[in-house]
């Protein structure tokens, strides 16, 4: 049921990613203007990832009708495959923000989704199926849902589950998402609909992040009061200044409970991860809104890991810093 | 998971419709060559029916993506709406036959579905989405599934849940479904995959039933050993001989437990239900396989009612026999 009240008023808030969870969702990738070679390589990777995740929690993969049979046949039978129309595979951005209350009841928060920038600088058009996913997933379990016209994706925010939220001005205040909104107005919306009490603003997200400033490639909560921060000592890296600035802000900030942050600097892969010629050429150029050129820098960081109840899934880049990240 | 064993071997069988159930499914109707006026009148009726059913059990309505928003907005929020591609709205024929064992564990039986006759005399083409529905609904609850290439729909069989199954030769042995199969072969398949022990064959289903001989418009189990039978005393009605023949067979038959049947004759509506000119003209003629002409006899009977745990939902035809049927 769509609720007309607010999460804050009803005692619901956004939990931290490190809090316990009961299951996971992925969306099957397929669009050839975003995934190279008709999506075939990434589909294999998604099967591999889902097969790892399902060892620790039930997994459901959502899929467009046109790829249903392929997804069902490629995925192990213990992974549930449900038909759900989508425009692309980013369920962390398009699915519900799950809210909980003291009794661990679950409700869904449905912000507007416009493909990371809508008609101005969104990554594709249309995005209407993606914008329906939260509602459909809420329906799947008969979960109550709150709705706001504010545009916000899951990757734009991280929280400690104790009232603190970190986001970026670049993403939340972007003209393509929430044109003309003030920081104060945005803060009040996030407080009302995510049940947080303090919003910490970083100016920018990861350098060249194509979503335009997502916070989750820059910083992640390990536990309340303690964060990891994407880091580089390479002063020629454009990410250097972004990470420095984030460090300054977080060093001076206090969280919602009045604590100072313990900040762990997490080195980026030492060798910059870039697009190969083969990879660039594998993507259909019909989208036209993104550079897909040989040598282009990719968003490669260790901080955007996946936290499950028992384990952490962390990316590897065949880099000298992989081992440090794991430690 | 798809099982390679058989229900009979695993101790699973098809329960009777009057046994307890936990929820219900419907499929949203929309195709304009089967539902008049673009499906708009029947959609209102489905909303009404689903709204009655949901008073007694959770209800889910499955819908094609193209009608998702319309269905979601027309149906009350307490009814779950899930996207699931389909070719038409007959979930009793296209959904799982749910099997149970002694512990009330549930598994799904997936027979082939070919739109009631395939390329020979099926009612539409293609039917591939309908044939995937059982698998998708099994996936929804991670239910194990048995698969057989035998073509059989839910409306083709009724069972007492105690080993007896009633069906028709017209439907099961039809050339469009199971060409060249013998009665004995068909019986053995049904015994193996539905866990029944005795199959009682009626020659024909309801007169002019467009599905081609479905049994559930002719006979229904009230409880083990006791059935209702569509009946008419009008010797000019083509249904007269069909019902007489069914009565003869059932009168002489014994069920799987060796019981004789108590047979309740259920009079058809006295005034024959026929297609009006307006109704006939409202259906797109693109299908081409069915007569849609003014005055055409419709399959109207009271025996094809819906049994819920607490109530029975029975059709009314504004006929003098409505009251008798209710009694």
A297 near B CB under 8 A: no
CA distance B55 to B74: 17
Res B187: pLDDT: 98
CA distance A6 to A12: 8
Res B1: pLDDT: 86
Nearest to A85 among B83, B129, B132 (CB): B83
A82 near B CB under 8 A: yes
B74 near A CB under 8 A: no
In chain A the first and final C-alpha atoms are separated, in Å, by 44
Chain B neighbors of A68, CB-CB under 8 A: 85, 132, 136
A183: confidence class by pLDDT, cuts 50, 70, 90: very high
- Mean pLDDT in residue range A162-174: 97
Contact A77 B1 (CB under 8 A): yes
Contact A84 B83 (CB under 8 A): yes
For domain A2-326, give the CATH number: 3.75.10.10
- Smallest CA-to-CA distance from B65 within B26, B30, B93 is with B30
A316-to-A250, B76, B216, B221, B325 alpha-carbon distances in Å: 26, 47, 59, 62, 70
Nearest to A83 among B1, B72, B136 (CB): B136
CA distance B145 to A324: 46
For residue A205, count CB atoms less than 10 angstroms from its CB and return exposed for 0-12, middle for 13-18, buried for 19 or more.
buried
pLDDT tens digits in sequence order for chain B, 327 residues long: 899 999 999 999 999 999 999 999 999 999 999 999 999 999 999 999 999 999 999 999 999 999 999 999 999 999 999 999 999 999 999 999 999 999 999 999 999 999 999 999 999 999 999 999 999 999 999 999 999 999 999 999 999 999 999 999 999 999 999 999 999 999 999 999 999 999 999 999 998 787 788 999 999 999 999 999 999 999 999 999 999 999 999 999 999 999 999 999 999 999 989 999 999 999 988 766 677 889 988 899 999 999 999 999 999 999 999 999 999
B260 near A CB under 8 A: no
The length of chain A is 327
Class of domain B10-326: alpha beta
Nearest to B2 among A1, A65, A77 (CB): A77
Tell me the per-residue pLDDT of A87-124, one tens digit each, with 9 for 90 and over: 999 999 999 999 999 999 999 999 999 999 999 999 99
B67 near A CB under 8 A: no
A59-to-A56, B33, B139, B142 alpha-carbon distances in Å: 9, 39, 12, 11
Q: What is the secondary structure of B261-304 as a DSSP string? A: PEEEEEEPPSSPPB--HHHHHTS-TTS-SS---TT-B----SSS
Contact B84 A80 (CB under 8 A): no
Res B210: pLDDT: 79
Provide the residue ranges of all domains of chain B, joining segments of one domain with +. 10-326
A289: confidence class by pLDDT, cuts 50, 70, 90: low
CA distance B144 to A10: 39
B145 → chain A, closest CA residue: A77
pTM of the model: 0.93
Specify which residues B165 forms β-bridges with. Answer: B159, B199
Averaged pLDDT of chain A: 95
Contact B68 A132 (CB under 8 A): yes
Chain A neighbors of B84, CB-CB under 8 A: 83
Give how far the C-alpha of residue A239 lies from the chain's centroid of Cα atoms, to the nearest Å.
19
Tell me the per-residue pLDDT of A307-316, one tens digit each, with 9 for 90 and over: 999 999 999 9
Contact A83 B84 (CB under 8 A): yes
Chain A neighbors of B58, CB-CB under 8 A: 142
What whole-number percentage of chain A has pLDDT above 90? Answer: 91
Distance from CA of B26 to the nearest CA of A (A): 15
CA distance B16 to B155: 13
> Who's near A242: CB < 8 A, 6+ residues apart?
A203, A204, A205, A206, A207, A218
Res B289: pLDDT: 67
Distance from CA of A133 to the nearest CA of B (A): 10
- Smallest CA-to-CA distance from A242 within A326, A154, A170 is with A170
A293: confidence class by pLDDT, cuts 50, 70, 90: confident
Q: Which segment of A63-77, A265-279, A288-302, B142-156 scores lowest on mean pLDDT?
A: A288-302
CA distance A194 to A165: 9
Contact B129 A78 (CB under 8 A): no
Res A288: pLDDT: 64
Chain B neighbors of A73, CB-CB under 8 A: none
Contact B136 A80 (CB under 8 A): no
Largest CA distance in chain B: 52
The count of CB pairs under 8 A between chains A and B is 49
Q: Is residue A230 pLDDT above 70, yes or no?
A: yes
The ipTM, to two decimals, is 0.89
A210: confidence class by pLDDT, cuts 50, 70, 90: confident
Chain A neighbors of B80, CB-CB under 8 A: 139-140, 142
- Mean pLDDT in residue range A63-69: 97
Res A212: pLDDT: 81
Contact A69 B132 (CB under 8 A): yes
Region of B191 (left: φ > 0; alpha: ψ -120 to 50; beta: rest) is alpha
Distance from CA of B262 to the nearest CA of A (A): 43
């Amino acid at each position: 049921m769509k609720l007309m009240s607010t999460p804050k008023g009803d005692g619901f808030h956004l939990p931290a990613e490190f809090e316990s969870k009961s299951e996971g969702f992925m969306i099957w990738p397929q669009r050839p203007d975003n995934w190279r070679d008709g999506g075939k390589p990434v589909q294999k990777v998604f099967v591999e990832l889902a097969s790892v995740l399902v060892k620790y929690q039930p997994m459901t993969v959502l899929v467009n009708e046109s790829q249903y049979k392929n997804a069902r046949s490629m995925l192990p039978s213990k992974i549930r495959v449900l038909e759900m129309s989508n425009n692309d595979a980013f369920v962390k951005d398009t699915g519900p923000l799950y809210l909980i209350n003291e009794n661990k009841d679950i409700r869904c928060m449905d912000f507007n989704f416009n493909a990371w920038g809508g008609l101005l600088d969104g990554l594709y058009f249309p995005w209407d199926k993606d914008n329906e996913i939260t509602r459909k997933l809420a329906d799947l379990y008969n979960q109550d849902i709150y709705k706001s016209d504010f545009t916000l994706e899951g990757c734009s925010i991280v929280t400690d589950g104790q009232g603190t939220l970190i986001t970026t001005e670049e993403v939340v205040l972007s003209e393509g998402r929430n044109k003309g909104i003030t920081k104060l107005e945005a803060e009040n919306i996030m407080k009302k609909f995510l049940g947080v009490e303090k919003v910490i603003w970083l100016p920018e997200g990861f350098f060249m992040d194509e979503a335009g400033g997502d916070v989750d490639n820059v910083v992640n909560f390990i536990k309340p009061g303690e964060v990891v921060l994407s880091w580089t000592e390479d002063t020629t890296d454009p990410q250097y200044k972004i990470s420095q600035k984030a460090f300054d802000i977080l060093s001076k900030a206090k969280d919602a409970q009045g604590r100072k942050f313990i900040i762990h600097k997490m080195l980026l892969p030492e060798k910059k991860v870039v697009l190969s010629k083969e990879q660039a050429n594998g993507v259909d150029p019909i989208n036209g809104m993104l550079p897909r050129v040989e040598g282009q820098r990719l968003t490669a960081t260790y901080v955007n890991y996946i936290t499950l109840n028992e384990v952490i899934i962390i990316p590897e880049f065949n880099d000298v810093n992989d081992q440090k990240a794991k430690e």
